[in-house]
A and B are shown apart, each in its own frame.
Chain A
Amino acid sequence: MSPQVKKAPKKIVARPINHTVRVAGKIDRVAIRMYCLGTGDCFVLKFFSGKTRKYTMMIDCGSCKGGPAEFKPFLQDLVQYVNNSVDLLVITHEHNDHVNGFAKHPDIFRAMEIKEAWFAWTENPEDPDGAAQELLKKRSSMRMALQNAIHAYKKRHELMRIDADGKAGKTAYDGIMLDNSSAFINGLNTLASINLAGEDETEAKALPGMRIIKEILEQKKVKIRYLCPGDIVTISQAAGIKFYVLGPPQRRDLMFKNGKEGRDVYERNIALNQCSLAMNAFISLKEEVRNDVPFAADFVVEGDDLEAVYKAPVNRWRKIDDDWLSAAGSLALRLNSHINNTSLALAIESVATGNVLLFPGDAEYGSWESWHQIRKWEKKGRNGKHLTEDLLNRTIFYKVGHHLSYNGTALEKGILMMESDDLAAMATLDRKNIAEKWKGTMPNKLLLKELIKRCQGRVFLMNEYQITNRPSLQLDPHSLGEKIYEEGRTRDGKTLLYKQYVITSL
């Protein structure tokens, strides 16, 4: 039998156009609300059957910028909108732009009814394999190393500054060295603001948002599930939809993997290597004696001629005492990518229509690739496809990974598989409220262009400020009608609270 013949009839069966065949009580509509807190994720999904609300789901709560006061109006609206109760809270991963909201207003979440909470298997303190514990331990030593390195780097910067100021006249050259050093620190600060609990922490703690929400859930004795790739969850209240767990991967190598440019991702990420040696050195930075020498102790020497040459004041400009600290950069990137790859990635499927909503968190290429390798889903999709590919084919809503950066969306194994004519996307990017050095990578122009094309303009950015290729130029979202697209503002009209997209025939 030729594949075309096989394909045709199945397709017709799979996508009924006539919605009246639906069974009463099953979910057929969803409102997806993106809170516009600033670059960072906070979503509420309300699933309906006819006019009845069946199930409320909240995903993440965080933003790059803002203190409790800035968060307040958004969270107040959220509480009101969900009527102070959510059926399910999903925490995708431990990055400040996804969890810090819980720490800004713990009281709000203490008071909220949360019926169930989902985390990725990587957060399970009692993971039977011990893999999660190992990862958590690793994460914590990476944080420790990074903190030390940032301290050392800043100290060096300060010394440079004092040195330059102390000279008879600060030269242009000093200025450039300081500029470059500041740029580096900016980069570190950006990644630290996402990945670290606080700058002055002496120990590597979990992020406050994560810590606090976990405490709250424990106090309230909320049922917690830790999900693994390949899990398929159905919930009696939410009849008619299924949750497919795609990531995070369980294979260690994929957790750290990067894609090849052009084929896997739009732009190449630097290969992030094990920086275990640098990490050891950073961790021991604060100790008196640093003993992690890669050679036998006999080779270490003190006071020979070259030491004198190295330390001679005329040769000061050639010293390299602190240059190696720039390894903090790759360490920070690696930690960042690694945590992104621990994102709980979910595909939510409407059983009746086969339509899929994709919420990948901030999963990077390694995770995307792993979805296609889930063993038990092999050949479980239509036409003998892997189920993941099939789910991507049927995706009609995509929460864009990692704020439209080049590494948050896979290419061949991701966006190019999203073939549905009904595709729409939401991206949590707001260049007015963003970590400084993210401005350089977000949005990735090629990715945005592809999305606009595939979604026929139905790409909703949190804020189109400073975006050249504005999706709204392609399609004014308000022209979709109030039933489909809605924006909410504070009473004074000054602040945009949320953007909401409704899928009327899920």
Chain B
Amino acid sequence: MAVINNPPNYYGKKPPFRKLRGYAFDPSLSLKMDTADINDIVYKVVWENLSPGPVGEYIEVVDFDPTVGKFYRAVNLDDDYILAQDGMDPSESDPQFHQQFVYAVAMTTIKNFERALGRKVLWESRRGEGVDVQDEYIQRLRIYPHAMREPNAYYSPVKKALLFGYFASTPADETLHMPNSIVFTCLSHDIIAHEITHAILDGVHNYYNEPTNPDVLAFHEAFADIVALFQHFTFPEVLKHQISKTRGDLGAQNLLGQLAQEFGSAVGDYGSLRDAIGEIDETTRQWKPHDPDPEDYRTEMEPHARGSILVAAVFEAFLNIYKSRVEDLLRIASNGTGILNQGDIQRDLVDRLANEAAKAAGHVLNMCIRALDYCPPIDLTFGDYLRAIITADADIVADDNRDYRLAFIDAFRRRGIYPEGVKTLSVESLRFPNRNIGYSQEDNDTANADPTQELLAVINGFLRDYGDEIKYVNDRQKIYYKTREYITGLYEKGQPRIPGLHTRLNSRIAQSAEFAQLTGLAFVENFRDLGMRKSSRYNGASFQILKLRHVSRVGPNGTQVNNVVFSITQRAGVVFRDGKIVDYYTPNKSSLSRLTDSGDPIPEGGFEFRGACTLIFDLDLQVLKYVISKPILDIDSLNTGRTPSLNLKRIRAQYNYQHGESECGVNEYFQYFGNGFHHMTEPFAFLHQH
């Protein structure tokens, strides 16, 4: 057959999307009459060049099954036949479809995230000794769709990989699920979205793997659930179907608020694995809504269950926002009564309600994701997160005419989640205090400027350069290395040295007592007595700069946010016994070491205690806007001019949580096979044991 060449004036235009078929939820819903139609959807994934795997810019799917020691043939999504029919047919028995599906869901989640965050997703860099600087940058997250034979799937921070398992089902009721059939966790939209969110979150806040209080791991779980849940609202057909089914009442039982239906029934639950608004009563088999109980937040310590409290709070905020957005529509559709007639609701009303639900869901998810930039880099609590949500939102939406922020505060309050150190529960008091410390051109009397202002002036100028430069960089690798360069400085042979952020802070930080007060960090003279290392570069306590990033966002009314954010952490070696600090030791250069700096073993009761803060600079106003701190020092000791001491309250809380006896609340698997809370190499492998 003759080859028909393209006409010479034809230029192939790169398509915006690659269409890939898949499940909206998981294979089980394709087997049910009422959901089969909506479950098969087409994912529109931003077009990128792929090689078989698929391997793209962000992820590489490697289908090696170690349980049989075999590789499964990698799918080539550029194959003509596959391209021509919007990807492979959904199929449980074809591993190539599995590869396509994990790719489609992972990329969809990544792109949704980038949209909300306003910058590229970067994976957490590879750390550890013996890792070259060049090897630190991780371009692609690896995905193993068939990595084990367990009802488990997890993100491995060590391998920068997602591992999905498969297992034989054991349903509680044989009518719910076929017993002994194989269930693949890599075929559940919710599980994939959940796991990839763990990886994304790790790239934003790498210390959230370290359980220093019961909320930290719970937050990881909750956040991953929130992202997976709200992604349901981006599937129009699913949304309309569920709106129609619930007659617009999304607080009733519906698929949108549920996670992992197949997994749940396959491991012996009566419904989905998790449900943000209700549960199936095991005796009556009827669905019933949850009643928020503030007792749960006090007593529930298992990370998933505790995380569910946060998920429920966020979902309730969403429901109330949605309700207020559709009140008028319901009145219009019901002759002003607001009470709909019995029977199905009109098609047009369904469309309008779905529209509002999608909008509200998008807004809520955006609020949740944006708040990440306003969180402390370590030791997060749900209360801190509420404050971050409120502050982030207030920054970008000056006029909260739909009371979004109140909806959040209300939902958190109903679950007894209160931030610490806040005197009243109002938007104003929850918002982090606006510091607005800067160095304006008017008072350029340098002789009288106090060291802190001087310090901040230097940093502000430097960060502005960073913001200007990074704004136009699109290549993820370049972003990574450019940012690194700004932190550590540039030392090229034959070129003049350009000091980085670290050095610039060093040069002035020691003199700034105010900076120590502001951040709660130990930029104080007696740091050695407090078990802290001396910096190798200057005469003060060592510190680490984390996650320098440029945050540029535009609000609905044109409000612009143009910030640079970074975090500083410090660590101290503390020996804690019987509720008291009995001694200090200088921690090893490597935080992974089991030895102290002097090479002795860490004494009994000794542990590393961290303090940190997130600093948010406004580039337009040239001010330090927010300081979100987990103080390593006792702030009182600073304010009252006593000898600075460590923050005993935080030390005690962390110690009690990590060393409380048997009731540490993870699970039996962790108690048998874990190694305590220190240096967990695979925290999520343990958490996700079902």
Contact = CB atoms under 8 A, between A and B. Distances in A.
- Say whether A and B bind each other: yes
Contact of B689 (A177, A291, A295, A330): A330
A19 B690 CA distance: 53
Contact of A300 (B73, B663, B689): B73
A332 B66 CA distance: 20
Given A171-B128, A317-B159, A191 B672 contact: yes
A374 interface: no
Nearest to A280: B149
Range of interface residues on B (Cβ < 8 Å) = 35 or more
Contacts of A172: 129, 588, 590, 592-595
Contacts of B135: 314
Contact of A309 (B60, B169, B172, B180): B60
A290 interface: yes
A301 B72 contact: yes
Interface in A179-232: 179-180, 182-184, 187-188, 190-191
A306 B690 contact: no
B161 A333 contact: no
Interface in B645-676: 661-663, 667-669, 671-676
Given A175-B593, A296-B93, A440 B672 contact: yes
B316 interface: no
Interface residues of A, number: 73
A492 interface: no
B167 A295 contact: no
A416 to B, nearest CB: 18
B413 interface: no
Interface string B556-599: 00000000000000000000000000000000101011110000
Contact of A305 (B52, B128, B148, B676): B52
B663 A445 contact: yes
Interface stretch (B139-147, B469-477, B483-491): B139-147
A318 B161 contact: yes
Given A176-B679, A270-B669, A281 B149 contact: yes
A305 B52 CA distance: 8
Among A177, A274, A298, chain B packs the most CB atoms within 10 A around the CB of A274
Interface in B34-68: 51-53, 55, 60, 62-68
Contacts of A190: 672
Interface string B167-187: 111101000000010100000
A184 B64 CA distance: 24
Nearest to B148: A324
B592 A274 contact: no
B461 to A, nearest CB: 38
A265 to B, nearest CB: 11
B163 A323 contact: yes
A175 to B, nearest CB: 6
A323 B156 CA distance: 10
B662 A310 contact: no
Given A299-B73, A442-B662, A277 B149 contact: yes
A324 B164 CA distance: 10
Contacts of B51: 305
Interface string A314-331: 100111111110110110
A317 B160 CA distance: 9
A464 to B, nearest CB: 15
A437 interface: yes
A180 B672 CA distance: 12
Contacts of A180: 675, 679-682
A437 B670 CA distance: 10
B662 A273 contact: no
Interface in A231-254: 253
B400 interface: no
A181 to B, nearest CB: 9
Given A172-B594, A304-B74, A269 B668 contact: yes
A273 B170 contact: yes
Nearest to B150: A327
Contacts of A183: 673-676
B180 A274 contact: yes
A277 B167 contact: yes
Given A172-B588, A330-B689, A294 B146 contact: yes
A294 B182 contact: yes
- 6 smallest CB-CB distances across A and B, nearest first, come from A183-B675, A324-B148, A187-B672, A278-B149, A187-B673, A172-B593
28 contacts: A184-B675, A191-B672, A268-B302, A270-B668, A270-B689, A273-B690, A274-B168, A274-B169, A274-B170, A275-B150, A277-B149, A278-B150, A281-B68, A293-B68, A296-B93, A301-B72, A304-B71, A307-B64, A317-B159, A323-B66, A323-B685, A326-B150, A326-B673, A329-B672, A333-B669, A440-B662, A441-B672, A444-B662
Interface of B: 51-53, 55, 60, 62-74, 93-96, 126, 128-130, 135, 142, 144, 146-151, 156, 158-161, 163, 165-170, 172, 180, 182, 267-268, 302, 588, 590, 592-595, 661-663, 667-669, 671-676, 679-682, 685, 689-690
Interface of A: 171-173, 175-177, 179-180, 182-184, 187-188, 190-191, 253, 256, 261, 267-271, 273-278, 281, 290-296, 298-302, 304-307, 309-310, 314, 317-324, 326-327, 329-330, 332-333, 407, 437, 440-446, 468
